[in-house]
Structure 1
Amino acid sequence: MKTSLLFLIILFAPLLSLAQTGSNKTNDTSKATKKIGLNEVTIKSKRPLIQTEIDKTVVNVAAMLSSASSNTLEVLEKTPGVTVNAGGEISLNGRAGVLVLIDGRQTYLSAADLANYLKSIPGGNLDKIELMDNPPARYDAAGNGVINIRLKKNRQSGFTGSLSSGYAQGKLPRNNNSLNLNYNYNKLNIFSNLGYSYDKNYSDDVYNRSFFNTDGNVTNRLLLNNYQQNKGKGINTNIGMDYAPTKSTTYGMQVSYNHSTRYNVLNSGNINYGITIPDSTGNSYTDARDSRDNLNTNLNFYHRFGETGREITADANYLRYTADGEQNLQNLVYLPDGALKHSDNFLYSLPSTMNIYTAKADYVHPLKNKAKLEAGIKWSWVSNDNPSDYYQLVNGEQIIDNGRSNHFKYREDFTAAYITGQKAWKRIGIQAGLRAEHTSANGLQLGNEAGGASAFNKDYTQVFPSVFINYKLDTISKNSLSFIVTRRINRPNYQLLNPFLFYRDQYSYSLGNPELNPQYQYRYELKYQHGQTFRTGLSYNRFTNVIFQTTNVVEGRFITKPENVSEGYILLFNSGLNISPAKWWTFNTDVLLSRMGLNGQAYGEKLNPATFAARINVLNQLQFGKGWSAELGGYYSSRDLNGQTFTSAMVRANAGLQKKIWKDKGSIRLVMEDIFHSWKYRNNSVALKQAYYYQTGESDTRRFGIAFTYNFGSDTFARKSKHKDNALDEEKGRM
């Protein structure tokens, strides 16, 4: 109740002050008539948290007080319009399956692997986050939207840099540190990011599962409690160079390396009930550890053809991801009298290697009368090798179990080409694009002594049209209307296609599905924007072949597997308001209201859940003078639908305080996350075959932290950058 009341105060307080703001302006005007003599003019600028452009929303991470003490995944959780569920899956404005880029480059990681990767990148390394609901044809058609995470690249003359270090304490500690360096002299620019992160976390999940016969009567129940504690370390290095031999040409290179280690311990206890009394109890212990190394290299080129406006950009990338994991599981089952009924001890060895090669080029050609053509091509090749060996441990000896072992190889060859045309008149601007993509993929399940090999091949070509129409409601472009139509695709990643059976506990398994097909989406949206103050939109999203995590109940065990469900939809209304009720107060809020639903079947059960959902994100930024500033914000998520699960409403409140020091070159920040520890999951199932479950879950979301940041070096004569983030940056004022 206290949390909800605080959230309402945070939400509505700015509206109560608007009437007073008008009278204050009159007084301020009369005071401004005084004659003031100036000996020196110092211009200070502060980037706002949110900036709205014609094709994307830009979130400036430095404006978040908590960014220095957070990792990148936690920064995304606090980004307006972005949600991260308990499994680390990222959604943008209610739509999962988002394409996440880092400096314009695709990561090619599964949702779980991407979440672990982002946890290892300190928030202090981030410059901005670009959110695109409707990416133009220049971008890959994959994903239900694009999130581009841009790392810091300082283009200022001389030697400059910044240092940040943050420590946060919940029940468990975490630490994030980053160092950003830049040297710019004449035609050469060298930049680098270094980061180190350490974190501990826990999750506490309680499941209450009921099972029924064909008549609908309860046959037995299971009470399951999983407590997991994990810790991880991450080291990030990123170094790049731009060389501009002429004002029209820039050559660039960039190398980044990430090394992370994680260690997880899961303790699970359970009680099996018959109709009324326990018929067995059990506990299990899982000890898992893994080490990951990610290498990313990039070469890029930019050339402008004189003053004609024609330009060409190109880049090539090589990415290599390697992982070496090991998981030890022990299961024990006891009879009601305490006698041991069954024991099982086994070991997973889970190494994997992925190699990715990409190349792309884009060309822009302006035409007469405010028109422009743009075209480009892209090629990528992905190779993944994922052996998974399963060993029974008997008297300390490892005995290979080929019936449960697996060796999966996946190859994907991708080519794409696009063309976009733009034309602007006095009030109307039109952009139309067409992108064609060809995918050729094959998966191979290697055989062993227990079973033969199997394989699948997928080869398909699809076209993706997009149309953007913008109408200016006034001559100064303060008010505008936009209408957008796009078609997109969501391809299953290699991990979803891997048929390997993975054990979480003795009653919960998961596996991939090599028969998965891509998911398709049509999106229609009408948007209105009033400068940088107010924006709103109404969209209808229709999905076919929805990739959906389904749960099958087999002999009391929950087996989760991705399937294609025939269709789904989201009717979405969203709006954002950015105002300054007073000189010292900036208020940002984003409101999302939606109706979502599915229509299909899962294991013989009709699957047509639907729900209304609301998400409200609020942030107040306060400036007190003499270097003091503060933040007060909150986030509310109503009932939501995720898989065969309904999640109850949740709310959290955050606060921060900052003091600038050393002539504004340094700062000390105090932050509080999830102050009332109210961000707790309460889930219940829908459309399970002869079963039902209710789950509660929490993790270490309440934290109190302190962070220090310091900027050093010269800060004058900024040089205009020609490097365009691997040819994937959008030009401002595109229409």
Structure 2
Amino acid sequence: MRKILTLLTVALTLSIVSLAQLKNGRIAGKVIDGNTKTIESATITLIKAKDSSVAKISVANKEGNFVFENVAEGSYMVSITAVGHAKGFSEKFEINSANSSVTLKTIELIPVSKELSGVSVAAKKPLIEQKIDRTIVNVEASASNVGTSALEVLEKSPGISVDKDGNISLKGKQGVQVYIDGRPSYLSGTDLANYLRSIGSNQLDQIEIMTNPPAKYDAAGNSGIINIKTKKTKQLGYSGSFSSTWSQGRYPKVNESFMFNYRKNKVNLFTNLGYTNRKNFQDLDIQRKFIDASTDEVRSLFEQESRIKEHSQSLNTKLGMDYFVNKKTTLGVVLTGFYNPGTFSNNSDVLIYDANKVLQSQTLASTSNDKKWKNFSGNFNFRHVFDSTGKELTADLDYINYKSENAQYLINAYYDTHGDPIAKADTLLGSLPQNINILTAKMDYLHPMKKGAKFEAGVKTSFVKTDNNAIYDSLNYGIKVPDIGRSNHFIYEENVNAAYVNFSKPLSKKLTGQFGLRLENTIAKGNLITTGEKFNRNYTQLFPTAYFQYVVNKNNNLGLNYGRRINRPNYQDLNPFIMFLDKYTFEQGNPNLQPQFSHNVELSHTYKSFLTTTLNYTRTTDIINEVLEQNTDENETFIKKANIAKQRQYGIAVSANGQVTKWWSGNLYVNVFNNKFEGIVNGDSVEIGATTAMANINNQFKFSKTWGGELSGFFRTPGVDGVFKIQSMGMLNVGVTKQIIKGKGTLRLVVRDVLYSQKAKGTIKYSNIDASFQQKRDSRQVALGFTYRFSKGKVGGAKRRTSGASDEQNRVKVGGE
């Protein structure tokens, strides 16, 4: 661990020093087309006049304006490219001490239809882009992402952490909502992690990280929203790509994907196909002390060694069509689905000692699961632009269905201290089908106003029904006997209705404000058919948001934002029945769970578009957290969710990115935060707090025109996650890339977790609970990947289409783990 901390510290220091030595020249300009209309999102390239090498790359804003900061002295030109236009150039100009700020003449681009026959265009994007309301990670910009899953890409993204069970946190806060192409994943916890592991990184385009989303987005998500965008081309004619990656850790892994887009006249067709085949292992060791609650004396010691193996496959697809009825109206449909079969096995050795560490008994437990997940999702979307001012109406209708099958086989064999059987082995068979149906509809209206003001409004409704039927049987001398005590059937239904308004306006020449208000009404009911237990919920809440941006001068910008958010319980966590995990561990839902609420405030400062510093404060009430209860006499542990506490967090995050030298660019992210957790757990007062630091670093090197490299990693100091104290952890990655086949192909070779330091360790101590764990998995891998791109047609533009489904999908638990 010291090695990785030292290496990351050295790289971090070198990068900061190098970035700080950049010069202070500034270049500003504007681009329009031949009809004097502004061009949005044109690519602006600053070129050194002496050798035509690229100094910087930027993107024009909605008004066609662009700016370059931190430009060194020298002679330059600007080149501009935009979809559907011929390339344009500025005149040659100088940056020096006497002329450090240059404003270029307006540059006009001529509209053209340029044929692309077999030419592959692969523009280099920066790894990290910092926007006013979000951070964007361009997945392909990092060589070490080759052969990874979507979950592994998230794990190394700025501010994101993933715990041993696959739960995702953002800036040290749980409750993040994960979207796929603007649509909710509708999964949570371990099942969300399994789904993200089934998506290969070669299918991903961008990761959007929003810590305080505006009122247009669902209010769900205590710590914000992560939107995973998959690839979609924007070209007339046809284009596509194929990727294949082989990774080798202890076990092999394969990721393959195919993307194709065809656009002609009024029709745009697109598809994504993906296949993964992954074998993994996990070693999990757990130690527990069973303490007498009345005397505080240790009654027994529990040690468990679990050796887990998983083999998962995934076939996922997306098919879509956009139909351009006319210049103002577009209709679209998107169909997605996946089929994920897999197997899971766990062999555990449980040793039970007395208080003096004298062995009392041994249990050998074996668990196997055969799992199948199936999903179908359909989206119909509509967009109409009323006039040239930008008035726009959009609508989305979504239907999502999940079906899962999980066949479990559990056996526990009991032995004395000499290894002789002391009781008949327990054998339990489980069939755990689940069916989830989700229907959502939403409509949004955008109305630009005079003097740069903008008004937005929208409505949304969603209906969710989950049906979980756990059927258990015991084997009694080879005869299957229904186990009524462990079987249960739970149905949950929920309807969320929402409406929002949002207004933004320049308040002065330097100050811009945006204000939003969202109303959400939740109606829910649960029915445990097995016992006849029922519950009902009906509550309405308001969620205000506010954003301010102040331009101090050409080098400094300030931002301030506030938002209130909600995190509703996961559907399965409301199921009051006791779920059997193994002989000594049980999981129980809680129908009395209430939603948790948070208030988030952020103050940010941006210096010369390369250094951003953010201060944040969050206060969460009625926090939903996992707690443990123990039966000391039977050495049993119950795991459940409860509204047990409140949490306060304050922190500071610093991100920097820029071109260090002609051949070296760097991205740095450091987040330091303090979490304080206090509440009543199992009747006892608990107060836990800690300061944690997280650092992500990515260095990109360009050795020649076709060769490149990467050195990246992350490190996290010890911290707290609810009532758990987690030890430090990190990762170091090294990669190299090679462009081949005249730029149409790319080879990537990468070694991940070089020092094998991505290992989780933690402890939990409160009341009569005293436990610890250690976990390691197949994180050190060597991967070789190949990507081939092809295209033929005309340059054009097709808007990425996302649906209106919101936070419901994040709260589903599919499968039987």
Q: Let me know the Cα RMSD of the aligned residues.
A: 2.3
Alignment of 1:164-183 (within 5 A): 164-183=243-262
| Distance of 1:662 and 1:489 partners within structure 2 | 51
Mapped partners of 1:234, 1:263: distance in 2: 12
CA offset digits 1:15-35 (Å, max 9, x no partner): 444587669x9xx88778999
Please give the secondary structure, in 1, of the residue aligned with 2:152. helix
2:151 is paired with a residue of what secondary structure?
helix
Q: Following the alignment from structure 1 to structure 2, what is the Cα–Cα distance between the partners of residues 35 and 414?
A: 56
Whether contact under 8 Å (2:144, 2:733) holds in the other structure is no
Q: Is the 8 A contact 1:576 1:589 kept in 2?
A: yes
User: How far does residue 13 in structure 1 lie from its aligned partner after superposition?
Assistant: 2.1
SS of residue in 2 equivalent to 1:246: coil
Deviations 1:107-166 (A, max 9, x none): 222222211111111111111111101100000000020111111111111110011111
**Mapping of residues 252-651 of structure 1, within 5 Å:** 252-276=332-356, 277-342=358-423, 343-424=425-506, 425-447=508-530, 452-474=531-553, 478-555=555-632, 556-651=635-730
1:425-482 per-position Cα deviation (integer Å, ceiling 9, x unaligned): 31111111110000100010002xxxx31011011010101111111112x5x53111
Q: Counterpart amino acid of 1:72?
A: A
> In the alignment, which of 702, 705, 715 is matched to residue 780 of structure 2?
702
Shift of residue 525, structure 1, vs aligned partner? 1.2
CA 178–341 in structure 1, closer or farther in 2 if over 3 Å, else same: same
CA contact (8 A) 1:268 1:505 kept: no
Structure 1 residues 296 and 728, CA, compared in 2 at 3 Å: closer, same or farther?
closer
CA distance in 2, matches of 1:715, 1:549: 54
Residue 733 of structure 1 is matched in structure 2 by none
Equivalent pair of 2:236/2:796 in contact (CA under 8 Å): yes
Post-superposition shift, 1:499?
2.3
SS at match of 1:142: coil
**Which residue number in structure 2 is paired with residue 195 of structure 1?**
274
User: In the superposition, relative to structure 1, how do residues 393 and 654 fare at CA in structure 2: closer, same or farther (>3 Å)?
Assistant: same
Instruction: Tell me the residue number matched to 2:231.
Output: 152
Calculate the TM-score normalised by the size of structure 1.
0.94
**Cα distance change of structure 1 residues 695 and 34 upon mapping to structure 2, 3 Å threshold:** closer
Q: Distance in 1 between matches of 2:150 and 2:444?
A: 29
> For residue 340 of structure 1, what is the amino acid of its counterpart?
P
In the other structure, the counterpart of 1:13 is 14
Q: Does the 8 Å contact 2:516/2:544 carry over to 1?
A: yes
Tell me, in whole angstroms, the C-alpha distance in 2 between the residues paired with 1:466 and 1:215: 51
- What is the identity, as a one-letter code, of the residue corresponding to 1:437? E
User: Could you tell me how far 1:44 is from its partner in structure 2?
Assistant: 7.0
Give the 5 Å matches for 1:194-273. Answer: 194-213=273-292, 214-273=294-353
Q: Deviations over 1:625-681 (max 9, x none)?
A: 131111101110111212321111112101111000011110110011111111111
After superposition, give the CA deviation of every residue in 1:155-211 in whole Å (9 maximum; x if it has no partner).
111110011111111111111100000001122111100000011111111122222
Give the one of 742, 746, 763 matched to 1:684.
763
Higher mean displacement: 208-217 or 265-274: 208-217
Letter in 1 for 2:321: M
Question: How far did 1:576 drift?
Answer: 0.5
Amino acid at match of 1:230: E
- Alpha-carbon distance in 2 for matches of 1:715, 1:93: 44
For 1:169, the aligned partner's letter is Q
- Larger deviation, residues 271-280 vs 536-545: 271-280
2:170 equivalent to 1:92 = yes
Q: Choose which of 103, 120, 130 in structure 1 pairs with 2:198.
A: 120
Aligned length, in residue pairs: 717
Query: CA distance change for structure 1 residues 210 and 19 in 2, over 3 Å: closer, same or farther?
Result: closer
Secondary structure, counterpart of 1:69 in structure 2: coil
Q: In 2, distance between residues paired with 1:174 and 1:534?
A: 38
Any gaps of 5 or more consecutive residues in structure 2? 27-47, 53-73, 80-86, 89-118, 807-817
Partner SS state of residue 12, structure 1 = helix
Q: Which amino acid aligns with 2:412?
A: N
**Percent of pairs identical after alignment?**
37
8 Å CA contact 1:236–1:259 kept in 2: the answer is yes
SS at match of 2:235: coil
The change in CA–CA distance for 1:406 and 1:246 in structure 2 (over 3 A counts) is same
**Of 135, 148, 161, which residue of structure 2 is paired with 1:57?**
135
Once residues 126 and 265 of structure 1 are traced to their aligned partners in structure 2, the CA distance between those partners, rounded to angstroms, is 30
Q: What do residues 601-643 of structure 1 show as CA deviations (whole Å, max 9, x unaligned)? A: 1112222111111100011011111311111011101112123
SS in 1 for 2:451: coil
Matched-pair contact (CA < 8 Å) for 2:208–2:226: yes
Letter in 1 for 2:519: A
Which has the higher mean CA deviation after the structures are superposed, 581-590 or 269-278?
269-278
TM-score normalised over the length of structure 2: 0.85
Tell me the alpha carbon deviations over residues 540-587 of structure 1, each in whole angstroms, 9 at most, x when there is no partner: 100010001111112322211000023111112111010211011111
In structure 1, C-alpha distance between the alignment counterparts of 2:216 and 2:355, rounded to whole Å: 60
Deviation string, structure 1 residues 251-288 (Cα, Å, up to 9, x no partner): 11000010001201100002111133111111100011
Q: Distance in 2 between matches of 1:332 and 1:656?
A: 47
Greater CA deviation, 253-262 or 387-396? 387-396
> 1:302, 1:723 within 8 Å by CA — same for their partners in 2?
no
Q: Give the C-alpha shift of residue 51 in structure 1.
A: 1.1
8 Å contact kept, 1:351–1:388 = yes
Amino acid at match of 1:370: G
Deviation, structure 1 residue 215:
3.0
The 3-state SS of whatever aligns with 1:5 is helix
Is the Cα–Cα contact under 8 Å of residues 322 and 333 in structure 2 kept in the other structure? Answer: yes
* Cα distance per residue 1:24-66 (max 9 Å; x no partner): x9xx887789999x9x999973111111111111111121213
For 1:400 and 1:503, how far apart are their aligned partners in 2? Answer: 15
